[in-house]
Every structure is written in structure tokens, then in C-alpha cells.
Amino acid sequence: MEVEMTIRGLLMDPVSNMPIVILKDVAGESVLPIWVGVYEANAIALEMEKVTTPRPMTHDLIKNVLTGLETQVHKVVVTELKDDTFYAVIWLERGGEIVSVDSRPSDALALALRVDCPIFVDEIVLKNSKQAANMSDRVTAEELRKYLEGLNDEDLGKYKM
């Protein structure tokens, strides 16, 4: 089963100094942090802040190509968590044909923001993510999760690169 999520914000991990995309369950209290690269976080932040660039960035290009091919993005789904790596799928439709495309979650999320499509996470990913945090030798993962769940709008603020 898939759980609909929204991008709640972007933070910098104080330990690794890597960006984290915070996904939040639209109907509940589940939070899923996904660590992403700096460039991918920048692509997400640009769209979240509605910043226009003089030339199309990669995800803008993908959106333009899909539009030119009369292809709609129906949804993106974070489908799997394996060996501490998240996997995602972009679901496209063109001329009545549904196509799935393998993607990194960060790219799928950046595209979802640009085409305004729903974001989902497979329920098993949420479950495995919580189990991984609970089984971790590091208490910091659970502490981070509790911290993220308690954030409000003022805490998230604007993402700075």
C-alpha cells in the first residue's frame, strides 16, 4: 500500500553536513527523512522557493521534454529501502499507456514539484525505515526522527546552500 506524502522541507544533517528532504504523511504523523546530494537538494529548493533560473535546469528540461512528448507524470513513489539506499519510480502516461521509470528519490521529488503530481511512499519503506532506526546502534537516528516530527513551519524556514 502507498502512503501519500508531501515535502515538508529541507534541512542540513548536523552530523554529515548533507541535505535531508523531509517527507511527511498527509493523513498522519509519519515522517521520512531522505538524505540527498547537495545538487539534488538545490534543485528541490529552487522549486520549493519558486526561483526561476535564466536557463532550464535538468529537472526543468525533463518537465519540458515530457510536456513536448504529451506525457503526464501521474505520481512518484519511493518504492524501496535496500542497504540504506532509497529507490523510487516515476509513473508516466502517454496516449493511454502507463510507463514506470526507475529513479533516484531526489530526482523523482524534484520532478514531482515541477509537474505538481502526488508523492507516495510504499508502506513497507516507512516500516523498514523505522525498524532500521530502531535497530541502529546509533541513537542519533531515533533522536533525529523525534526532532523532525516536532518541527514547525518557523523551524524549517528557507533552505540555504
Q: Which residue has the cell 546530494?
A: 37
How does pLDDT run across 140-160, given as a tens digit for each residue?
556 666 666 666 666 565 554
pLDDT band at residue 137 using 50, 70 and 90 as cut-offs:
very low
User: Among 35-49, 53-67, 78-92, 121-135, which stretch is predicted with the lowest mean pLDDT?
Assistant: 121-135
| Domains, the chain | 2-152 (3.10.690.10)
Cell readout for 157 is 524556514
Is the pLDDT score of 31 beyond 50? yes
2 exposed, middle or buried (CB, 10 Å; 0-12, 13-18, 19+)? middle
Give the full edge-to-edge strand order of the sheet including 2-12. 31-35, 19-25, 2-12, 119-122, 72-82, 85-94, 97-103
